[in-house]
Structure 1
């Protein structure tokens, strides 16, 4: 109950945290118990509303029944959400054969603008960052790296209506995606969480803005992550991941603690290869899932540095392609894998790690 109360308070804060230029939207019909609604003064940009989609309305009826929500309120909320035609295209992977390039990817996130912003963020919130590291065991560099990669420390938190984004991905996720069914079901669960929280917190679900995938705040939390991991780290009695960097810092650290971050464990080790014994296909088969002991990796042709050779937990051989040049390889630990639970990409994880290090060095 304490968690639900905190989340409800948080979502009221979210409504207040929106940018002043955000367009108000048509309000859903009031349910039996009054709900806050936005003023109906402008035309909402987007495609056709989902009120005309039988599948969306059936989902609304099922959600209302399972969650004990007012049926008409849920139908009106989902019915007034609009298809964002550009969003499904953004979810598609690049065409088969498109070369990945770690150096290009890295340059998008490790640049002077982000590093300078990271230094300011660290200086302004040093006490909260150090307290989060002490309480959750997650290094300051990782927390700083995450918030920098995600939103440039709050500068770019997204301007899509979360309700539209989640509805679009729930009912119009592209079938061409190799995991279309799985991802569509994921976004339907997120839409359910979002509407349930909006109902409990008595706010208009069309108010919050975020990414095209429905992520919100400085750390870009999805609704389910907000419920599970967001914390009131500044002690003001409410959770606000939009306007409270301190809450965002604690929440990011708590997220990693919830995903089995091990205090003191490095994220990765440098590697070289003994080409005469190298079993590259076997080593890459598990992808980024830590699956090999140090001894096993070395028996398959990986030459670890001294620290890597002493590592006692499982590791993965992580390949970062560099276009037409030779790939970069590292031995990723379980902490490297924990970073990929934030975004399932080894390139993302390395960008977070290296941004945090660059900011630390620039201080």
Structure 2
């Protein structure tokens, strides 16, 4: 239990710090004064004031905030503070300040993946045949367990994913497949067949297969700094895309709302990852950081995405959104978030009782 709590504090602290750091640094870069940089909400526990900014740790460790000069559009501002006021900056500067929070969460993910790839490289599943299903094209072609696929239709194959991709893209067309059996190279012709499989979201999808499973042979691939840099961006994009797709599937009803979790589930998962080792916990932070970024970009008032939506409307219309409209939207956004928080807490508690 203590491991989960400690890991939760570490994970949340890192995520919130990077998110608020993004807002803070870009605000300062744009000439906006920052009054408070806080990790946590509620009463101030400890802190230090440097210049006009109060850097603090607050009592409720479930988030954080950056309070900028003139952040509220209708607040009274000392004339001397107008040059440092958020509201008085151009709409473009306000957009990049607000977007900087979730963008820094994506940057954090890139940095973590970069470090992992530099230190550990990546692990590649080799195209070595394991189990061959009865009555399949692979069995008919004479493939055997232990055969290593090397070429498909003139395309060199180095990984299992490359092989699966080549088979999928065949769309049922006959393939010329070269493989190694021991030191001997052989070639066979295989016609993939269609089958219905469950995808990541549990949906039935049609795929082209030849009826083989992987032998589970993997090897470590070291990466140069350049390769690690490119791969870290690719991994961040891949997980971001899947996160967005998961939200779409959730709205469509494909993914069950029971999969949603809140602080309790995050604490449990953080504890599990911490017990598995520091590398697992760091990877978990990267995943959560991407999720936090995507969620914050959603156009829900009170989230960064809601503010961005208002600023984009202002940029198009040439004037700020009506105050009353903003207030109603903010109230609706708070209501939606409260309902979501209640629901995820309910899910978390239900999981605890179902596993006890």
| Higher-Rg member (1/2) | 2
User: Counting strand residues as a fraction of each chain, which structure ranks higher?
Assistant: 2
| TM surpasses 0.5 | no
- Superposition TM-score, scaled by structure 2 size: 0.21
Give the number of the structure with larger relative contact order, counting CA–CA contacts within 8 Å between residues 6 or more apart: 1
- Superposition TM-score, scaled by structure 1 size: 0.20
